[in-house]
Structure 1
Amino acid sequence: MKDLPLVSIIIPTYNRAKLIPETLDSVLAQGYKNWECLVVDDGSLDDTDKILKKYCVKDFRFKYFKRPHDRLPGGNAARNYGFELSKGKYIQWFDDDDLMSPNKIENKVRSFLEDNVDLVISKSKYFNSEAEFYHYAYTAKDISFESFAMGNVSWVTNDFMISRDIAKDISFNENLRAGQEYNYCCKALLQTSRISFIDKFLTLRRDNQDSIGSNRRLYKLKHFTSKFNAYWLNYIDISNLTKHKKFERFSLITCVSYYLRSRNRIQIPSSFYRRLIKVFGYRSIYFFLARLSNFFFGKYYYFYKRFKGVK
């Protein structure tokens, strides 16, 4: 076992005492044995600490930490803190209510070693629902910064394992409340193009109607605001790293779309207008016309199409 690379499984958690035992049991069931599992508590008020202490006694590979008080609350800070404490050559991010297939880690490590890559992607599906999950209609050749950033390929946090050599130079944006993995993976894909894709369902995802994302989508304005902020903050973050014109246009168009769908109720940062004019030039006038039309008539699509450059 000592000859196999150590894998760090990092799980942020918050008030999941009733669900996390299933997740940890699925980690214990891994055929690949050289792992450490770092669970970082984001301030749980239930019995999470009691449960984790039992697992730490049961198996020394489990390690339980609490997010320091000087770090921002939220899963992003918990993930970053977990990474700082981890020792593995490969990093597997995971959620506290989902399950690993027994061969998940083994499949990922084999791909790292055989394919000589920095990032390994697999697939997820629901285990407690007939609802449709993501479409994984792509191959490794289709994956790039541009294809991911513009939504042509996609995956969730549990789907990717990353080498420490890449992960040490990036982090989760702790100011983001949504779109965390999108931002993280955009940064990772700017670092490497050595990627493999395993066309297997290696994560069993829980369809949790009580999740933060599900509750947010119940309230349209909150959902639109969350999406606007995610794409805007990601745009600011990534545009500091690369000047990719297609990405810039895509991100700002997406922000405009959510703003107009909110009926102009999202509070726009002042710097947004400057960025819009810089990237779109004279076509920015169509955004302002769409905004006025939306305000007076509740319609905006005519001007929005022209803003996008669609006739």
Structure 2
Amino acid sequence: MNAFPKVTIIMATYNRAHFIVETLQTIKNQSFTYWECLIIDDGGSDNTIDVITPIMEQDNRFQFLKRPASYKKGLSGCRNYGLDLAKGDCVIFFDDDDIVHPDNLKTSIEVIEKNNVDFCNYQKMSFVDERPAIKRVSVVIEKYLSREEIEKVAAQKIGLASCTVLWKRQCFNQIRFNESLLYAEEWECYTRIISENFKGIIINNVLYYNRKHPDSNTGKFFRNNAVCRESFTQAILLVVRNLKEKQLLSTSLIRYFVTISKDFAKYNLYENIIIILDLPTFEKLKWQLFYFTLPLRISVYKLKKAFKKI
């Protein structure tokens, strides 16, 4: 292992023996070599340790660790444990079933150092079975990202996926993932980081390939998994509270969150948002009217759109 790794890769794993070897091989093949990879087992029961032992014996930059009971089960607990152990100046989170571009670390570090920013956000591409073709990287800067763009980050118009950002470790000096969240934990955490005015760059280069399969958290969410959906509502409330405390919650963002809340009525999301906002009576009535007339306005919008096509 490098005595002073530049980058700490943190990978939570849970029963992914059938995928993880391929992922680790793409990490081993990184053109940038000064890294450590902390593989944090979340209490899995398969033979992950058996299949990765040959890789660890060949390359001591990989470490296999069990999540201690002092960290809650889940991605957040595993990542927080990794953050507390990280030696690198930068940190990055990779999943245990994906493919990493060979120039991922090299490109991201060069972008951060050349532009004197705190993080680099790159693009990802999804695949199912067939491994994607890896293309050579010629960096294309899309835009700079700071607290001025917090509205787009919070409304997910700018997507900071869990595995598509290389961070300077200082971004996590005072921040950790919320361990009560089992879905949308990275969105909630990364929104907090941006709200603290850490600055980064978005590049328009694909450096990560995420595998689509039914057991992924995203797949579960879109199949209406109750745990994921409830976690998403809790993440929304945390984001709303943080932005309100920092006076970064605009009217358009409130409208965005209130609109979303209609799909999560069973979790009382709208009512809890209103409690956090602590609005004057008139403002509260205005948003109540907006919320209850939302289905009608959506129907009218769809009709207008349909007529335009005729």
TM range (shorter): 0.7 to 0.9
The yes-or-no answer on 1:177 pairing with 2:182 is yes
- Corresponding residue for residue 70 of structure 1: 70
Which gives a bigger RCO, structure 1 or 2 (Cα 8 Å, sep 6+)?
Answer: 2
Amino acid in the other structure paired with 2:122? S
Displacement after TM superposition at 1:86 (Å): 1.1
Distance 2:270 2:68 in 1: 30
- Corresponding residue for residue 80 of structure 2: 80
Alignment match of 1:244 (pick from 241, 248, 273): 248
C-alpha contact (below 8 Å) 2:160/2:190 kept by paired residues: no
The yes-or-no answer on 1:150 pairing with 2:155 is yes
Distance 2:228 2:3 in 1: 47
The yes-or-no answer on 1:141 pairing with 2:136 is no
- Corresponding residue for residue 165 of structure 1: 170
Give the 3-state SS of the residue equivalent to 1:231 in structure 2. Answer: helix
Query: 119-128 or 60-69, which moves further after superposition?
Result: 119-128
TM-score, length-normalised on structure 2? 0.81
- Corresponding residue for residue 206 of structure 1: 211
- Corresponding residue for residue 49 of structure 2: 49
Amino acid in the other structure paired with 2:208? T
The yes-or-no answer on 1:275 pairing with 2:271 is no
Change (3 A) 1:27 1:2: closer
Q: Deviations over 1:56-106 (max 9, x none)?
A: 212110011111112211100100100111100011111111111111111
Distance 2:168 2:209 in 1: 22
> Any residues of structure 2 matched to 1:257-272 within 5 Å, and which?
257-262=259-264, 264-268=265-269, 272=273
Distance 1:2 1:260 in 2: 51
Displacement after TM superposition at 1:254 (Å): 4.2
Distance 2:196 2:287 in 1: 34
Displacement after TM superposition at 1:148 (Å): 1.3
C-alpha contact (below 8 Å) 1:42/1:73 kept by paired residues: yes
- Corresponding residue for residue 32 of structure 2: 32
The yes-or-no answer on 1:231 pairing with 2:231 is no
Alignment match of 2:197 (pick from 192, 199, 207): 192
C-alpha contact (below 8 Å) 1:287/1:303 kept by paired residues: no
Displacement after TM superposition at 1:215 (Å): 2.2
Identity over aligned residues, as a percent?
A: 24
Please, what is the CA RMSD of the aligned residues? 3.2
Change (3 A) 1:223 1:27: closer
Q: Deviations over 1:275-299 (max 9, x none)?
A: 3451x742433555577x69xxxx8
Amino acid in the other structure paired with 1:236? R
Unaligned runs of 5+ in 2: 131-139, 301-310
Distance 1:34 1:185 in 2: 25
Give the 3-state SS of the residue equivalent to 2:76 in structure 1. Answer: helix
Amino acid in the other structure paired with 1:55? I
Displacement after TM superposition at 1:141 (Å): 3.1
Change (3 A) 1:56 1:271: same
Give the 3-state SS of the residue equivalent to 2:17 in structure 1. Answer: coil
TM-score, length-normalised on structure 1? 0.81
Distance 1:282 1:304 in 2: 26
Displacement after TM superposition at 1:146 (Å): 2.9
Amino acid in the other structure paired with 2:285? I
Distance 2:288 2:226 in 1: 20
Q: Deviations over 1:149-200 (max 9, x none)?
A: 2333213111100001222221111111221121121122123343122221
Q: Deviations over 1:8-31 (max 9, x none)?
A: 011111111110111100000101
Change (3 A) 1:108 1:127: same
- Corresponding residue for residue 296 of structure 2: 301
Amino acid in the other structure paired with 2:263? R
Query: 205-214 or 62-71, which moves further after superposition?
Result: 205-214
Distance 1:174 1:205 in 2: 23
Distance 2:106 2:20 in 1: 22
